[in-house]
Amino acid sequence: MLTNKQIGFIGGGAMAEALIRGILHAGLVMPSQIAVNDVSTERLGYLRGTFTVSTTLDSQEIARQSDILFLTVKPQVINGVIDTIAPVVAKTTVVVSVAAGVTIAAFQGKMPGVPIIRVMPNTPVAVGEGMSAMALGKYATTAVSEPVAEVFASVGKVVTVNEDTMDAVTGLSGSGPAYAFVLIDALTDAGVRVGFSRQTAVLLAAQTLMGAAKMVLETGEHPAKLRDMVTSPGGTAITGVHVLEQNGVRAALIDAVVAATNRSREMGRR
């Protein structure tokens, strides 16, 4: 679906790098079909040397030549980017924003008729295991969105959601890696407490969580059923689960997602 498409990135940071790596690794396009804009010549030099993509300091040049234009910049600079590129973006260009909290309406008001797609990816896209949620603007048809979904699928999983759930996406999958890192860190400390070296403990903890997540995704079974498969009567796992329930770990995780969702809503109203 990306054959003969020109892909542009305004913003050459970690997100752009992850997407470029995923696109090229999956063989979706050739390096010659990718161009990147950034304010840092050093960063552009790194991307050009690493991926042999073309680079430029001129964001309007990228906007003019791209069939799919990724805006991979921080939310605090997105308004300036929109103002700069809006006069030159064609109605055939698909504009994809990963700027948290910036609504489709903010783009559509300055780029009427242009297909806009808002995406919330999370940081594991850097290792090809991200979770991305896409919300489609008024002019972003299925035919328009499928190539974009293909790009994000190259760095993990992708789902399409209504834009009004984007704050919830931020609270769950966007902020979710932070919760997972807390769990891994806590399990690592537990491993050290029961006698392992920290290096061994972090490996045991991280691989265990990764394996459990993979079982959920690949078997399609409910997590509770998989838990029941581990918890034999009177055994060690059910004893541990009992302690987690006594200490409100499940409720704490639910509360964390709700609090992060509400915080995302607050930030979006600024």
Binding-site members for NADP(+) are 10-15
The secondary structure of the chain, three-state, reads CCCCCCEEEECCCHHHHHHHHHHHHCCCCCHHHEEEECCCHHHHHHHHHHHCCEEECCHHHHHHHCCEEEECCCHHHHHHHHHHHHHHCCCCCEEEECCCCCCHHHHHCCCCCCCEEEEECCHHHHHCCEEEEEEECCCCCHHHHHHHHHHHHCCEEEEECCHHHHHHHHHHHHCHHHHHHHHHHHHHHHHHHCCCCHHHHHHHHHHHHHHHHHHHHHHCCCHHHHHHHHCCCCCHHHHHHHHHHHCCHHHHHHHHHHHHHHHHHHHHCC
Q: In the block, which residue shows the tokens 């300055």?
A: 110
Query: Hey, what are 16's tokens?
Result: 């752009």
Instruction: Return binding residues.
Output: 10-15
Q: Evaluate whether 68 touches 34 at the Cβ level (below 8 Å).
A: no
